[in-house]
Amino acid sequence: MSTLRIEHRTRFTYASEIVSSYNEARLTPAWLPRQRVLDSRVEIDPSTWRTTYRDYWETDVVAFEVLQPHSALTVVGSSIVEVSPVRQRDERVGWTELQGPRFQDLLCEYLGNTPTTEPSEELKQIAEDAAGRLSPELTARAICDVLHDRIGYVPGSTSVHTPATHAWEASSGVCQDFAHLAIGALRHVDIPARYVSGYLHPKRDAEIGESVAGESHAWVEWWTGDWHGFDPTNDREVGDHHVIVGRGREYRDVPPLMGVVAGETSSLDVRVTVTQTA
């Protein structure tokens, strides 16, 4: 079990003074059986009106608007989260049950691809070949193994709006590309898959109390009898260094921060700091 303190700081600087912006922040970790949120808050500068709600995908959202002249906007999400190791269940379903009407209907939201997750023809064939000789669980792992071998992690090589096919063709991407590629291939062979937005403590051997530069991260969960989390970017099982904020069909369902500004942003600075406190 780990206790992690996370600070996610985002600062927008504008080309000229603006007088209105509307934003939504998804920076609050989720309460889950294996994840307890001991403290969480979102601070906004300039101070402004806000409201909170839980969206369709059960992610906590802070919505706010700034209607006063300002040349910069800073949003800081801070939280302390206790995370337990994942207990994997042995119960798995086979292809016949997985592709039957019960789960195809129950999990239909996580079975259809979008323009963002739609896989390339080559990746579709790789997924079909794996599904033809392996169980659903092993097929999912095989797909992630291929992604780890074929795609290079290259920061800045794509944007959050890059379709999975572009990252596949370029053989490079960042965490949301790995997640979108895995999701597209899994759904293509009828394995329900969802996008997970959260944080990763990147340094396994960090000292207790040592603050390190962390990541706003993304990974994938697939369903083969139970939801199973896997981090294809780092080729590892999701564990007690992963903190979940939200889940959805793709990035657009759970962006950390999104909004509309009546002006032009001249610079954006995003920093995530993670400290293991216990």
Alpha-carbon distances, residue 82 vs 76, 87, 162, 201 (angstroms): 20, 15, 33, 13
Q: What is the CA radius of gyration of the chain?
A: 19
- Closest Cα partner for 255 from 263, 247, 264? 247
- Provide the pLDDT for residue 56: 97
User: Tokens for 137?
Assistant: 């669980």
Tokens 């921060």 found at: 257
User: Tokens for 147?
Assistant: 């992604």
Question: Would you give per-residue pLDDT tens digits along the chain (278 residues)?
Answer: 899 999 999 999 998 999 889 999 999 999 999 999 999 999 999 988 899 999 999 999 999 999 999 999 999 999 999 999 877 666 788 999 999 998 899 999 999 999 999 999 999 999 999 999 999 999 999 999 999 999 999 988 787 778 999 999 999 999 999 999 999 999 999 999 999 999 999 888 888 999 999 878 999 999 999 999 999 999 999 999 999 999 999 999 999 999 888 878 889 999 999 999 98
With contact defined as beta carbons under 8 Å apart, do 177 and 184 qualify? no
Task: List all residues 6 or more positions away from 64 whose beta carbon is below 8 Å from its beta carbon.
Answer: 22, 23, 25, 44, 48, 49, 50, 51
With contact defined as beta carbons under 8 Å apart, do 263 and 18 qualify? yes
